[in-house]
Amino acid sequence: MAGDEIRRIRDACEGVFTGLEHIGSTAVPGLSSKPVIDLLGEVPEIMRADGCAGALAGLGYRAMGEYGIPGRRYFYREEGGRHTHHLHVFATGDPGLRRHRAFRDYLIAHPDEAAAYGALKTALARRYPEDIEAYMDGKNGMVKELELRALTWSFHRDTR
């Protein structure tokens, strides 16, 4: 699924991305997740993502600009009124790239922590089935803790 979408984006935005990969909960085996595929794109400079917005629109993506994260470009695609894909794009060297990759890789390498995170997400989804803001707020503390551990783990892994 993610691989097919990555190919579609690469074909539509030929030569724009230096990296395009699957991130988010659906990239972590066994982790509870919403049926949304998160993708991480890397470009040499962020304006390249802006230049590809028209091609992405042709694939059904809507451009949202930074959407709350400086230096990022965020795009989403939906079907039947529900998001199916999120594309987060950062320029090479932006800390957002390392943060997203470290989070995914840490959860893959630490299945017990992934299971605890998944249990929280499941409980929040049951508690707030129609309130995405409350769901996001409810998992924010754990996400911040996991991000810190993931970045520390990633740094130590990469400096060995």
CA angle in degrees (0–180, nearest 5) for 49-27-132: 75
CB distance 91 to 67 below 8 Å: no
- Report pLDDT digits (tens) over 133-154: 999 999 999 999 999 999 999 9
> 158: pLDDT confidence band, cut at 50, 70 and 90?
confident
**pLDDT higher than 70, residue 160:** no
- Classify domain 2-158 at the CATH superfamily level: Beta Polymerase, domain 2 (3.30.460.10)
d(CA 65, CA 53): 10
Q: What integer best gives the mean pLDDT of the chain?
A: 95
Of 142, 156, 141, whose CA–CA distance to 109 is shortest? 156
Q: How many CB atoms lie within 10 A of CB 67?
A: 13
Of 72, 76, 74, whose CA–CA distance to 85 is shortest? 76
CB distance 43 to 123 below 8 Å: no
- Report pLDDT digits (tens) over 24-79: 999 999 998 888 999 999 999 999 999 999 999 999 999 999 999 999 999 999 99
Read off the tokens for 33: 């997740």
Q: What are the structural domain ranges in the chain?
A: 2-158
Q: Provide, rounded to the nearest whole percent, the portion of the chain with pLDDT above 90.
A: 91
Interval 74-93 mean pLDDT: 96
**pLDDT higher than 80, residue 116:** yes
pTM exceeds 0.85 for this model: yes
User: Edge to edge, what strands does the sheet with 61-63 contain?
Assistant: 19-23, 37-43, 82-91, 73-79, 61-63
